[in-house]
Amino acid sequence: MKTTINCFIPCTGAAQVEKTIEGLQATGLVNNIYLLMAPDVTAKVEGCSSLHMKSFQSSSAMRDIAAHSDADYTLLYTKDTTLELGLFALERMIHIAEDSGAGMVYADHYQVTEGKQTNAPVIDYQFGSLRDDFNFGSVLLFKTEAFKEAALRMEDDQYHFAGLYDLRLKVSQKYPLVHINEYLYSEVENDTRKSGEKIFDYVDPKNRVRQIEMEKACTAHLKEIGGYLAPEFKHIEFDAGNFEYEASVIIPVRNRIRTIRDAIRSVLNQKTDFKYNLIVIDNHSTDGTTEAIDEFKDDERLIHIIPERNDLGIGGCWNLGVHHPQCGKFAVQLDSDDVYKDENTLKIMVNAFYEQNCAMVVGTYMMTDFNMNMIAPGIIDHKEWTPENGRNNALRINGLGAPRAFYTPVLREVKVPNTSYGEDYALGLNFSRQYQIGRVYDVVYLCRRWDDNSDASLDIVKMNGHNLYKDRIRTWELQARVAMNKQK
């Protein structure tokens, strides 16, 4: 018997879906096409049926789609722009799905933006790929049996935004989600923002309700796979080691002549009732940064380190600073692009350790332009964090915030991954496995966005590399948590 597919396509009007439908019907594999419409949309297209729903991402939408999935495979297209399938693309997707036993397959593709076609490769799904914004592309081909089974387990869910996310998590519990690294279709892309603008969508206050739903779905998934951690934490006495300084600010830097003086001044201007210093790890700068740092050499609080090694990323520089004999009891982060909000930041961050009995503290920052004027999305407070569930939700989100500060004895034991991206996130996950992470919700840090930021405008290959690495971090951490729970 010939394999068949039921297709489900968002529809805002007949003209919008015309070319997409023609392409699907031309494959000869399509059994039925259902147009997913908002309640106020009326569009009749020959050979298609209509399904009205308030939200295409909702739990009820997933259940409705499952109820109408009577073919071997269920294709869900997630964009309301034109889809153009490659030659024999659906045959290829079915072939891989059957060979791999996948519950869902997805593929590399092309994006057409303002008439220009570019490659849009995606990354492999893995155990720790829990981000709700994981990029599968817009064509998701499910084995209908897997889709229906997952939807059946969603009977009690009433998500408005997290339905599709919840469904794919449930599918992943019993089936592999398989990436086909072949370019199988083209989609029209209307989001032309730079990567540095997109990465903050998940902390935009207007998305708060959506984030709460995503957290709930992710937490339920963690409980089902044995990766959930109850809010039970190790107590800290803060008496390990013999520290001359209460705190050290750590600044790794390479070629930041335009910003390093501002960063250093913002540290040396701190007002505290404890002894602190500043450790700058100058990673072989060549643009005058080294000389700029030396302008402050008369201040005995400044320790200027130029590594003997040439293989250090940001994390490696952090390790040098943290293991320096004059590093303080608490190590506090400041990026060489950024500044502390005022002279009270360091005191606020250090106090939080004692007030909240935590091994790591994360503050609140404000996004600014180079001249420190606030820009969108403004204040990033990560209020999605809660003491009860923060360390579980941390596996879903893409970062924890800034500035970050650590209890040095624990950081010396854990050590910082020698990378220049994701090292702080890895620490947050690792620390939170056993210790509480404290939060400061007042703005204490100004994060400057400008063209030289490391993530201001990444090409898709570099962005995929970053996302793949963070998913590996999540996978390692999730595996550790599952193993830890089994030992209890």
If you write DSSP's letter for every residue of 247-258 in order, what string do you get?
Answer: EEEEEEESS-TT
Q: What is the pLDDT of residue 198?
A: 42
Per-residue pLDDT band at 195 (split at 50, 70, 90): very low
Exposure of 11 by Cβ count < 10 A (0-12 exposed, 13-18 middle, 19+ buried)? buried
Query: In this model, does residue 207 exceed pLDDT 90?
Result: no
- Virtual CA dihedral for 183, 186, 188, 190, nearest 10 degrees? 0
Q: What is the pLDDT of residue 189?
A: 78
Please enumerate in sequence order all residues whose Cβ is within 8 A of that of 381, keeping only pairs 6 or more positions apart, or say none. 203, 364, 401, 441
140 vs 156, more confident = 140
Phi, psi dihedrals of residue 360, rounded to the nearest 5° = -150, 140
CA distances from 32 to 23, 46, 90, 148 (A): 13, 11, 15, 17
Contact 245, 327 (CB under 8 A): yes
Q: Can you tell me the distance from the alpha carbon of 294 to that of 132, in angstroms, rounded to the nearest whole number?
A: 45
Q: How far does CA 392 lie from the centroid of its chain?
A: 14
Q: What is the pLDDT of residue 202?
A: 46
Q: What is the pLDDT of residue 455?
A: 52
Please give the helix or strand (H or E) that residue 439 lies within, else none. Answer: strand 437-448
How large is the average pLDDT for residues 234-259? 96
Query: In this model, does residue 453 exceed pLDDT 80?
Result: no
Query: In this model, does residue 416 exceed pLDDT 50?
Result: yes
Q: What is the pLDDT of residue 456?
A: 53
How large is the average pLDDT for residues 372-396? 93
Q: What is the pLDDT of residue 304?
A: 98
Query: In this model, does residue 452 exceed pLDDT 70?
Result: no
Per-residue pLDDT band at 418 (split at 50, 70, 90): very high
Q: Can you tell me the distance from the alpha carbon of 37 to that of 416, in angstroms, rounded to the nearest whole number?
A: 49
Contact 446, 378 (CB under 8 A): no
Contact 252, 259 (CB under 8 A): no
Contact 352, 459 (CB under 8 A): no
Q: What is the pLDDT of residue 311?
A: 97
Query: In this model, does residue 319 exceed pLDDT 60?
Result: yes
- Between CA 138 and CA 424, with CA 181 as vertex, the angle to 5 degrees is 80
Query: In this model, does residue 290 exceed pLDDT 50?
Result: yes
Classify residue 86 by its DSSP letter.
Answer: P
Q: What is the pLDDT of residue 199?
A: 44
How large is the average pLDDT for residues 84-95? 97
Whole-structure pTM value: 0.92
Q: Which two tokens stand for residue 176?
A: 């592999």
Q: Which of 1-15, 83-97, 239-253 is predicted least confidently?
A: 1-15
37 strand-pairing partners: 52
Contact 439, 362 (CB under 8 A): yes
Q: Can you tell me the distance from the alpha carbon of 10 to that of 164, in angstroms, rounded to the nearest whole number?
A: 14
**pLDDT (tens digit per residue) in 13-46:** 888 899 999 999 999 999 999 999 999 888 888 8
The rounded percent of the chain whose pLDDT value lies above 90 is 86
Contact 263, 446 (CB under 8 A): no
Going by DSSP bridges, is the β-strand pair 83-85/73-77 parallel, antiparallel, or unpaired? unpaired
Amino acid at 236: I
Query: In this model, does residue 287 exceed pLDDT 70?
Result: yes
**pLDDT (tens digit per residue) in 156-169:** 779 999 999 999 99
How large is the average pLDDT for residues 332-354? 98
Query: In this model, does residue 194 exceed pLDDT 60?
Result: no
Q: Which two tokens stand for residue 460?
A: 């898709």
Q: Can you tell me the distance from the alpha carbon of 305 to that of 55, in angstroms, rounded to the nearest whole number?
A: 55
Hey, is 310 helix, strand or coil?
coil
C-alpha neighbours within 13 Å on the C-beta side of residue 25: 13
Please enumerate in sequence order all residues whose Cβ is within 8 A of that of 158, keeping only pairs 6 or more positions apart, or say none. 59, 60
Per-residue pLDDT band at 1 (split at 50, 70, 90): low
How large is the average pLDDT for residues 236-261? 96
Q: Comparing C-alpha atoms, which of 155, 143, 68 is closest to residue 105?
A: 143
